Amino acid sequence: MKFAFTEEQDALASAARDLFARHCSPEALRTSWQDGTGRVPGLYQALAEQGMLAVVVPEAQGGLGLGPLEMCRLQEEAGFFGCPEPFLEAALAGTFLPSEGLASGDLLVSVASDEHPLFLHAESAQDFLYAAPERLIHFQRADCEMQRQESVDQARHLYAVSASHHDELDHDPQRLIDHGRLYAAAQLLGLSRRLLTLSQDYVSQRHQFGRPIGRFQAVSHPLVDVAKELLFAESLLYRAAWLLSEDHSEARRAVTMAKAELSEAARLACRTSLQVHGAMGYSFEVDLQLYLKRAWALAATWGDPHRLRQELAHTLFEEPHHA
């Protein structure tokens, strides 16, 4: 059996890579921090025009009707380029609140869950989804009040939102959480690869004692450790994506494992990249922090590693054992 992406999946990822490369330069990300919007002008509409917002929207609502595996490829590219748009939330809405407005980019939905009850870019959203225990809640902007919260990533505009009226959707809220964890893990893979790339470039250019510092084992070996961890985490991620696409009984456990592993791998990438950059890594002039802070934020979103491993242990010990 051949375990590989199809030509169509590779083409979709390549198109996303080109789009993000055009719109999500480090300069554009800096501007999104400094102008107070947390967003890149025109990017969300470009995602709609290229069909990226329609990937998981059912065909009946004007979408492509594809699944989590294809969306994971796009989320990984979004992570690599540090996309500040609510692209992850759009993917969740495309599955659990599908509409033609989502595919066209006219409707923006903000999503949160009981384990991370803050809504991203709520100030721009018309609809809201909230995965509470035992129920998936939907409400609209006219029925809610919101208050801005702080984030380590200045492009992540987070809000605490309360609603005076809501309705319940006929979906399992845990399924939304599974998809959220999967897509967050995919973005973390992309972010970690960007951190590794930036670090490799830096240590090949920075000289000390007459040679690039990347020639010293104390610098190169930690970077190899990051690369190794990402290879391992990538296999967990795309196995989980395939299982979720197939609605397999092992999907939830696989997604939980992938998010836990990629949160830890991303933290290793953050720690190592900051270490090899030295004091320069703390300066705003260096691009590193644009991706560091996003990775720190996402690693704790949709379940931190400690909580996820507790969930895994709980499910393992709950299962009946057969002789």
Percent of the chain at pLDDT exceeding 90: 88
pLDDT confidence of residue 1: 54
The answer to the question of residue 146 being in a domain is: no
**What's the mean pLDDT in 265-278?**
97
H-helix segments, the chain: 7-23, 26-34, 43-49, 68-80, 87-96, 100-104, 173-205, 217-245, 251-277, 288-299, 305-318
Calpha distance 114→121 (Å, rounded) = 17
pLDDT confidence of residue 207: 85
What does the longest C-alpha to C-alpha distance in the chain come to?
67
The answer to the question of residue 30 being in a domain is: no
pLDDT at 323 over 50: no
The answer to the question of residue 133 being in a domain is: no
Q: Which pTM value belongs to this model?
A: 0.95
pLDDT in tens, 232-247: 999 999 999 999 999 9
The answer to the question of residue 197 being in a domain is: yes
Locate 321 and state its tokens: 């054992």
pLDDT confidence of residue 2: 67
Tokens 């592993």 found at? 261
Would you call 5 exposed, middle or buried from its count of C-beta atoms within 10 A (0-12, 13-18, 19+)?
A: middle
pLDDT in tens, 62-117: 999 999 999 999 999 999 999 999 999 999 999 999 988 999 999 999 999 998 89
The answer to the question of residue 120 being in a domain is: no
**What's the mean pLDDT in 272-283?**
93
**What's the mean pLDDT in 250-275?**
98
The answer to the question of residue 84 being in a domain is: no
pLDDT in tens, 142-200: 999 999 999 999 999 999 999 999 999 999 999 999 999 999 999 999 999 999 999 99
Locate 289 and state its tokens: 């922090």
pLDDT confidence of residue 322: 52
Residue 187: closest CA among 92, 58, 323:
92
**What's the mean pLDDT in 28-47?**
95
Q: How many structural domains compose the chain?
A: 1
pLDDT confidence of residue 235: 97
pLDDT confidence of residue 83: 98
The answer to the question of residue 46 being in a domain is: no
pLDDT confidence of residue 115: 86
DSSP state at residue 278: G
Which residue range is the domain that position 266 belongs to?
Answer: 174-316
CATH number at residue 300: 1.20.140.10
pLDDT confidence of residue 89: 98
The answer to the question of residue 260 being in a domain is: yes
- In whole angstroms, how large is the CA radius of gyration of the chain? 20
pLDDT confidence of residue 97: 95
Calpha distance 291→277 (Å, rounded) = 14
